[in-house]
Amino acid sequence: MLLRAYRDGRDPKRDGGWLPTGDGGEIGHDGAVVVHGRLDEMIVSGGENVWTEQVEAALRRHAGVLEVAVAGVPDAEWGERVAAWVVPRSSAAAPSLEELRELASADVGRWAAPQELALVAALPRTPLGKLRRKDLAGLPVLGRSLR
């Protein structure tokens, strides 16, 4: 289903009828569309495309993770590296970078494993509860691990 126009009459579609949504994905072998995530949330590290949502899903499996957010941070060698901001369930049960790397490697691939871990008290969110990924880098950090 696709809209005809915005309420003000503007047509947002491009030539050929395509509507740029900002989503990235693929058409599977069975013809089904699979959406991987928002293009602005994809990390390109060493030529590999890393979808933040897939890495976050893998890291949530750790019993010590209450909340997690993943984003790319600038890296001189790789362009971007994968970083994870984790709200631990408790300071005594905080996950280690190596434990999270193992989870991500098993589920998504070694290239998607975080290279950096920041333990934080809370993740930045909008009033509606959506993650503000652009504000992650400025969070006060309880602990940090680098690979």
Whether the pLDDT of residue 116 is over 80: the answer is: yes
| pLDDT, tens digit, 9 for 90 and up, residues 10-38 | 988 888 878 877 777 888 899 998 887 77
Phi, psi (deg, nearest 5) at residue 101: -60, -40
Banded model confidence at residue 2, pLDDT cuts 50, 70, 90: low
Report how far residue 52's alpha carbon sits from residue 35's, in angstroms, rounded to the nearest whole number.
Answer: 13
All residues at 6 or more sequence positions from 65 whose CB lies less than 8 Å from its CB, including other chains: 59, 86, 87, 88, 89, 95, 100
Report how far residue 144's alpha carbon sits from residue 146's, in angstroms, rounded to the nearest whole number.
Answer: 7
| pLDDT, tens digit, 9 for 90 and up, residues 31-58 | 998 887 777 778 999 998 999 999 999 9
Stated pTM of the model: 0.79
